[in-house]
Amino acid sequence: MKINTSWAGLLLLSLALLLNGCNSAMQAYKKGVRLYDAGEYNPALVQFDKAAKGTIDPARLNYYIAESYRLSNRFAEAVPFYQKAIEAGTTEPDARFNYAYALKSQGNYAAALDQLQQFVATAPKTTAKPVLAKAKAEIETLKVVDLIAQNKLAITLQNRADLNTTGTEFAPVVRGNELIFTASRKEQTYKNNGLPMLGLYKTKLDSKPDETGTIAKPELFSQNVFQDNVNEGTPAFSKDGKAMVFARGNTGKRKGGEDVDLFISRLGEGGWSEPLRLPISDSLAWDGSPAFSGDGKTLYFASNRAGGAGGIDLYRTSIDASGRFSRPVNMGRTINTPGDEMFPHVGADAKLYFASDGHPGLGKLDVFVATRTGGVTRVENMGQPINSPADDFGLIYTKPTEGFLASNRAGGKGDDDIYFFQEGTVPTVDTTTIAKKDAPKTVNYFLAGTVSANETPVALLDSARVRIIDDATDQPIAEAITGEPGTFGKYPVQEGKDYTILAERKGYLTRREKFTMQGKGISMVFLTKPVTDTTYNVALLLDKATLNKTIVLDNIYYDLNKYNIRSDAEPELDKVVTIMKDNPTLKIELGSHTDARDTDAYNMKLSQNRAKSAVDYIVSKSIDSSRITAKGYGETQLIVKNAKTEDEHQRNRRTEFKILEL
């Protein structure tokens, strides 16, 4: 049979074009993933758009697109792609969690609630505790979001069209007659979101149109402060206006994503000085949005440094007469949540205003106000129209009834816009609604719990003596003996206070457990009754006092071939110190173990040095050296034999203690 060569050629050409298209889509996808991994989300989105024209796995591709929008703070644009990824069967465990917050940013609260409930119901055991805690708290918020929305203030908002552009403007602050703010106006592009990089700009507060009706454009704040290849923003000025602290860093590469530090510049005869990095900055963390207290003696700022409550927390540092900054202190669990807290501002009324996505709110970031009365700090949502389903943040008061804030709410000129707000007269509302909303509500907090043996299966212990001690006074507020079920309580505790629970029983090691009421206060928005009683339960586990019993310590790990005590090990060793102090007749052996990645002799010597380092640390905390012995076991007692991964090797590099004498 004679073949029509023209048709055959056309078929081959079609196949070639198809294969070329598939290869082109895969190449675009792989390039997009590389850019995504580098933190360059905007260029990554360009490549993912090209990849969408091929046959790339829709679950994976759409998840990458959604995450690229989310990580560049474009939550609303991420919504359809999360939906497509989930419908395509994505196995990413955080997809529903992030999808829920994207839906919330659109005001779609019902759908957000549904996604979070599904996330919690299907979350694997490996889910980080802060993430799970944030999801559960957000579920409760979404259940009562209508009540939060009813909180409407008599405030008018005005978009500062003379300042705002199609880019981003935020973090307004006043110095004298100038408004200084952060804006995306540099020549270089920030590859994270595709906008120009951030810099500091200024304008006159009383700017008025000239004879042509034109208002002067904002100008660069200071050429000495300006650096073209990094983001700069969120300025704060000292009381005399002669010192400025601001954030600088982040080139747009993931490698430098956390590289945002606080800098200080001082005003002299030649203008603002070359900025110097503040020593309070953490080189491994993101530090930003500083703010001075009214007297200028305290600096507040936000940071995601280790040891916080979750994401980004608020910290404070004191400034002495010489201008030196003290060691930063976390502002506690009443202010900070598993979510993000940032953009602090101390008003003339001494109240702390800040933005958060962890407290009950209407959108991604809401503005909250913290008030301290009688030693108790209460955090309340500022309500509408200050807050919306979008990001609302950076609020400052310039006068008792007016100020500025930033928002990316619908109707603005660009990404984040600066708004002027002014308090007005109280609107006419149903008086019964006001009476119901303003009716005084109180919460009574109680503490109860159980005492059990730390064994499998867990056995409740009667006849255990339990004392609850107020940490502020070091005095017991309650004392009890557990009954047959091994329970104690309930005893009244106070919001914002810290307590220690001490449990003792013959034949067991005395146990000391910390319990804090910081961050455990119930927000007023959740209260429906005049008086609400709520009880917190704790479970105390006592170790049996048995000779030669080995107790494994958590997180006493060492770096490869090192024996120094790492900072993440100190809290666990402090627990041993507490056990030794609470059980004064106890003598123990502290044993250290290595992995199997060196010779037997080397590992034996290394483990002995590690054990000695741990013992020296404990002795330095006023424990008699005769009560504790260091013992190195080398690689003779491996938990994971034939370990291959670094995690498995580190499990072998452990420290334990064994009871030698009671």
517 and 606 together in one domain: no
Residue 58 has pLDDT above 60, yes or no: yes
Residue 33, in any domain of the structure: yes
69 and 188 together in one domain: no
77 and 169 together in one domain: no
Confidence of residue 270 (pLDDT cuts 50, 70, 90): confident
Residue 12, in any domain of the structure: no
Confidence of residue 430 (pLDDT cuts 50, 70, 90): very low
CA atoms within 13 A on the CB side of 466: 30
321 and 401 together in one domain: yes
pLDDT of residue 257: 46
Confidence of residue 478 (pLDDT cuts 50, 70, 90): very high
Residue 169 has pLDDT above 90, yes or no: yes
Residue 427 has pLDDT above 50, yes or no: no
164 and 280 together in one domain: yes
pLDDT of residue 17: 54
Residue 5, in any domain of the structure: no
Single out the residue in 500, 518, 542 at which a domain terminates. Answer: 542
Confidence of residue 1 (pLDDT cuts 50, 70, 90): very low
537 and 554 together in one domain: no
Residue 8, in any domain of the structure: no
| Residue bearing the bigger pLDDT, 511 or 215 | 511
Residue 301, in any domain of the structure: yes
140 and 257 together in one domain: no
CA distances from 596 to 558, 561, 565, 643, 649 (A): 14, 11, 20, 8, 8
33 and 121 together in one domain: yes
CATH of the domain at 84: 1.25.40.10
Residue 14, in any domain of the structure: no
463 and 396 together in one domain: no
Does residue 403 sit in helix, strand or coil?
Answer: strand
Token pair of 225, please? 């402060």
Q: Strand 531-542 to strand 511-516: parallel, antiparallel, or no bridges (unpaired)?
A: unpaired
Average pLDDT, the chain: 87
pLDDT of residue 426: 43
Q: What is the pLDDT of residues 325-381, one digit of tens each?
A: 999 999 998 999 988 999 999 998 889 999 999 999 999 999 999 998 877 888 999
pLDDT of residue 9: 58
Q: Strand 587-592 to strand 628-632: parallel, antiparallel, or no bridges (unpaired)?
A: parallel
**pTM for this one?**
0.79
- Range 460-470 average pLDDT: 94
Does residue 272 sit in helix, strand or coil?
Answer: strand
pLDDT of residue 434: 38
522 and 556 together in one domain: no
pLDDT of residue 547: 84
Confidence of residue 21 (pLDDT cuts 50, 70, 90): low
- Best-predicted range by mean pLDDT among 147-151, 166-170, 634-638? 166-170
Q: What is the pLDDT of residues 103-125, one digit of tens each?
A: 999 999 999 999 999 999 999 88
The residue assigned the tokens 């997809």 is 95
Token pair of 369, please? 């106000």
Residue 427, in any domain of the structure: yes
CA distances from 392 to 24, 375, 383 (A): 41, 29, 11
Confidence of residue 555 (pLDDT cuts 50, 70, 90): low
| Residue bearing the bigger pLDDT, 449 or 259 | 449
Token pair of 400, please? 């008792």
495 and 564 together in one domain: no
**Are the CB atoms for 340 and 138 separated by under 8 Å?**
no
CATH of the domain at 387: 2.115.10.20
pLDDT of residue 296: 92
| Residue bearing the bigger pLDDT, 507 or 20 | 507
Single out the residue in 542, 560, 581 at which a domain terminates. Answer: 542
CA distances from 6 to 12, 18, 19, 267 (A): 10, 18, 20, 80
Residue 63 has pLDDT above 90, yes or no: yes
Residue 1, in any domain of the structure: no
Residue 646's domain comprises 550-661
Single out the residue in 378, 406, 437 at which a domain terminates. Answer: 437
- What total of structural domains would you count in the chain? 4
CATH of the domain at 474: 2.60.40.10
| Residue bearing the bigger pLDDT, 214 or 435 | 214
CATH of the domain at 563: 3.30.1330.60
Q: Which residues contact 409 (CB under 8 A, 6 or more apart)?
A: 388, 389, 390, 391, 392
pLDDT of residue 293: 95
332 and 252 together in one domain: yes
